[in-house]
Chain A
Amino acid sequence: MRLVKNKIEYNGAGSVTLIPEEPEDMWHAYNLIVPGDVLYATAIRRVTTTGTTGSTSSSRVRLTLEIRVKNLDFDPQNSQLHVSGQIMNETPHTKIGQHHTLDLELNRQFTLEKGSGPDSEGSGWDSVAVEALKDAVDEGGNRRAEAVAVVMQEGLAHICFIGQHRTILKQKVEMSVPRKRAGGSDHDKTMTKFYQTTLDTLLRHLEFNTSATSMSTSDPIRPVLLASPGFIATSFQKHIQSVANTSTPALKRLLPSIVVVHSASGYLHSLTEVLQSPTVKALLSDTKHARETKLMDDFNEQLRKETNKATYGPREVEHAVEQGAVGRGGGVLIISNRLFRAQDVAERKRWVTLVDRVRDVEGGEVRVLSSEHESGRRLDGLGGIAALLTFPIDDEDVGEDSE
């Protein structure tokens, strides 16, 4: 995302103008825009005019609209963001107060204005929003660490794209594979078919050029991680090799970027294990995944040891912060960015206050995890919020009244 203009006032009001450049930027926009904000972007609106004779004609016009955001809808598969709200500016084709849904587009700038103060509806540019903005704006232009992972088991494969901030499941391949039996070759046959289907699907999602002339092109190829329990991933790699040697020589370009790793199962949540493996860590220059995963592991470790130096759940964490346990010297607040996307402003404020308190007053560390990542999903299972504490707290009493 490119930052075109930044006019954030000291009091937290103000606006920014941004240009989303890649699909992942839509995800950032989704995290930045909250109900109550004012969004200024171009839109295509269908306008119906009624002639004097009563005949109607409709045409599509490109307009620049200013809307007060009411609702956001994010489609993670296609990285599309739909923002709906009421129109605030008058144009020849629209009236103030009409509803419109803006579809943000790549490479078209939009301006986001957040109000602050008692009279405005939004929560302004609070610390979390500023942080999210920093995250979104690609300063060095070097954070395109991306990989494709195929997590598979017998008869099941998940093809997903791992980005900086999220993991998108692109497709699931499922096939019923007969078991081995004496004298039958159905199993081997079906497995070959399964590998071929998975490969075809993978190439389609990679938009990989398999024509013979593509050998000379030098498009960069993203690392492809093949993960499975047992020997499935290795067999799949062999299958790709044999296809490359026989029918599709263009596949040879893909071969060097393939990495085989172990995973416990073919389900998506095994991706945690994949991202943890040393080979993958070395491969992906970006260590954000690894850091986040490590954080979650540390947290689990603390819980396991039953030192009472870790807690999770909204009420429990708030209680711990009140006690001053998430402070200097090891206190870490882990929070999923799902909580900041709350439709209710008060709800968002509750979490922002908590984050501010930990960071500024207590001196603890705050980590915002992306809910679209494996570690974030693990956190969401725990209620979206957890904390590592500096001293043990027995939160028996909190547990009791949070029924």
Chain B
Amino acid sequence: MSRHRVKAVSYDDDDYDEYDDGYDSQDPEEKEFLEECTREVLSQLAAGTPSVSATRDEVQEALWHYYNDVEKSVNYLKSKKTKEAGKMKPAAGKAKVTTTGPSPDDVVLNAQSSAKGFKSKQPASKTQGDKKDQAGLASDMGNLSVIEKVNVKSKNLDVISEYKKSKRKNAMNFVVIGHVDAGKSTLMGRLLADLKAVDQRTLEKYRREAEKIGKGSFALAWVLDQGSEERARGVTIDVAASKFETENTVFTILDSPGHRDFVPNMIAGASQADFAVLVIDSSIGNYESGLKGQTKEHALLVRSMGLQRVVVAVNKMDTVQWNKDRFEEIEQQVSAFLITAGFQTKNISFVPCSGISGDNITRRSEDPNVSWYTGGTLVEELEATEAYSHALEKPLRMTIGDVFRGSIQHPLSISGRIDAGCLQIGDQVYTMPSGETATIRSLEVDEEPSEWAVAGQNVVLHLANIDPIHLRSGDVVCHASAPITNISSFTCKVLAFDHLLPSMVDIHRGRLHVPGRISRLVATLDKGSGNVVKKKPKIVPPGVVARIVVEMDHAVPLEAPTRIVLRAGGDTIAAGLLE
């Protein structure tokens, strides 16, 4: 009865008449939905531990109170039943009496309001809920509640089996590295333009704008260099992500900055990548200076961050007239260096190309000077890379790459790549080091809306129920069931790139970037066997593996085995594995 009382209050007079005649005149659609929900609740109650039984009336009553929210009704009934387990029967009977019939107060109120024909505020909101149910938006309403806290219902999918069922293309990320001004951004801009990932009009616009400020040759780089400062200075500052598709694979480009001041950003990019594209400037003089500069540092970094494969794009070949000897000289020197850095020969490939003209990038060069080259184009080399498997079964770990305001609907979004595990809409997640919880309201995988995501995918999570001050790039998202711990000191096994002695360092792990200090040099180790060579060395020379203790001012979320990079004074001094 009370249901109809409430409904009647808010409806206009003509609606009112229609519904006045009692229980049986219920809308068939609504009835069906109620029936459905009741079944759902009953089954959930039976399945839950301890299993609870409830009468249909009780269930429907609970459903009514919770506006057909199955989950809440289940919880309510469960707690009620367990609480009153002993005196279940009398309690249930009593509840029936009090709630099925309207209370005396309600009767009076009802009479008053219907007589006067006004809508009292509270019933109005209730009835709106029912109205929408009728309109068939029932399921949506189930997810939303009147309480201000956003409550997103999880579908409780088995994400891993969903992932196995879905037939997606392989997805791979690669980081583009190399010395400053090697043409990384331009090369990638060309790649995107030729694969039609950027439309011609946008390109034209960039070209015009670039010419206006006298930087015509930078037009292609502007596809990736979106920042105003980056454009004004013609230098990439932060990692830019962009995706394109080939027949079998979805690639995500992580275009990293080459300037030595922005190596931290490059580390952030490389931490999300599966393999690397090393761009080398083949023009006279620039190649030599690059080899001494970031070409070397970047290559060592990506190797020590666990990347196995590198495609070397020997860029600007047009400036040396596609000279074969030049290419071979570079190939020989660079591969020798990469092998000493720890890459395997089979995982290194070389492509002579030109970013500005587009030769050997998506199409074979038609220049007669290049006839000596028989290998694949850059895209073919990219496709030749095998897909990597990711740790889907492990607990969720995702390093936040960026915190931003997505849109009006999504005032708080984070992006990043899932390092391990999986997640889905409605999940409660922890962010560390703040230790705050958030709810995933919705998510995007590779810019497409999705209901779940697994390790290895680039995702944007739209969050609810958290204040943005608790989120910073570099934080880690995890599940409450297996949270990552914050630590302020750790032991790690590192390969020294420079002399190591107890000193101040910057610690990098992906986006995470914190100050700390090497507090102790525990021992130098044998490179092959890992046995202790010398305990408590005074100093660790470059090229030696050592075990060291690092302390930080603030606790940060780190756990073994994580690859970390230590830098000091603008140079990478060591990289290694947390123990």
Where the two chains meet, the residues of A that have a C-beta atom closer than 8 Å to any C-beta of B are 176, 178-184, 186-188, 229-231, 235, 262, 264-265, 267-270, 272-273, 300, 303-304, 306, 311-312, 316, 377-378, 381-383, 395, 399-400, 402-403
Contacts and interface: CB of A to CB of B under 8 A. Distances in A.
A181 B402 CA distance: 10
Nearest to B472: A176
B237 interface: yes
Interface in B550-579: 567-571
Contact of B226 (A180, A378, A399): A180
Contacts of A269: 504, 515
A303 B541 CA distance: 10
B536 A230 contact: no
Interface stretch (B55-63, B259-267, B326-334): B259-267
Given A229-B570, A303-B538, A187 B504 contact: no
Contacts of B401: 179
Contact of A181 (B226, B519, B571): B226
B402 A304 contact: no
Given A176-B468, A178-B404, A381-B519, A304 B539 contact: yes
18 contacts: A179-B239, A180-B237, A180-B240, A181-B226, A184-B404, A231-B233, A262-B261, A264-B571, A268-B515, A300-B501, A303-B538, A306-B541, A312-B501, A316-B538, A377-B504, A381-B502, A381-B503, A382-B502
Interface string B232-252: 010001111000000000000
B403 A400 contact: no
B496 to A, nearest CB: 12
Contacts of A382: 501-503
A374 to B, nearest CB: 9
B300 interface: no
B79 to A, nearest CB: 39
B517 interface: yes
A303 B503 CA distance: 13
B330 to A, nearest CB: 29
Contacts of B233: 231
B71 interface: no
Given A176-B403, A300-B499, 17 more contacts: A176-B471, A178-B402, A179-B239, A179-B473, A180-B227, A180-B237, A188-B228, A230-B262, A265-B515, A265-B567, A267-B506, A269-B504, A273-B570, A303-B501, A304-B499, A378-B504, A399-B536
B535 interface: yes
B405 A186 contact: yes
Contact of B238 (A179, A264, A300): A179
A400 B535 contact: yes
A265 B240 contact: no
Of listed A186, A231, A383, A395, residue having the most chain B CB within 10 A? A231
Nearest to A178: B404
B29 interface: no
A176 B468 CA distance: 9
Contact of B403 (A178, A182, A230): A178
Contacts, number: 104
B30 interface: no
B427 to A, nearest CB: 22
B535 A180 contact: no
Given A179-B238, A180-B238, A229-B262, A378 B503 contact: yes
A381 B517 contact: yes
Interface of B is mostly: mixed
B230 interface: yes
B229 interface: yes
A143 to B, nearest CB: 27
Interface residues of B, number: 45
Interface string B473-504: 10000000000000000000000000101111
A231 B569 CA distance: 17
Contacts of A303: 499, 501, 538-539
B404 A186 contact: yes
A306 B502 CA distance: 15
B264 A265 contact: yes
A229 B261 contact: yes
A378 B504 CA distance: 7
A235 B403 contact: no
A361 B178 CA distance: 56
A273 B405 contact: no
A59 to B, nearest CB: 44
Contacts of B405: 178, 186
Given A180-B226, A186-B405, A230 B261 contact: yes
A235 to B, nearest CB: 7
Nearest to B542: A304
A229 B405 CA distance: 27
B520 to A, nearest CB: 10
Contacts of B541: 306
A312 B539 CA distance: 10
Contacts of B503: 378, 381-382
A270 B505 CA distance: 10
A400 to B, nearest CB: 7
Contacts of A400: 535-536
Contacts of B230: 180
Contacts of B238: 179-180
Contacts of B262: 229-230
Nearest to B568: A264
A178 B400 CA distance: 11
Of listed A179, A187, A264, A269, residue having the most chain B CB within 10 A? A179
Nearest to A395: B538
Of listed B535, B570, B571, residue having the most chain A CB within 10 A? B570
A303 B402 CA distance: 41
A240 to B, nearest CB: 17
A186 B227 CA distance: 10
B506 to A, nearest CB: 5
Interface in B186-240: 226-230, 233, 237-240
A383 B521 CA distance: 12
Given A178-B403, A229-B570, A381-B504, A306 B535 contact: no
Interface in B399-445: 401-405
A262 to B, nearest CB: 8
A178 B469 CA distance: 13
A312 to B, nearest CB: 7
Nearest to B475: A176
Of listed A186, A235, A316, A381, residue having the most chain B CB within 10 A? A381
A230 B259 contact: yes
B119 to A, nearest CB: 42
A111 B504 CA distance: 39
A213 to B, nearest CB: 36
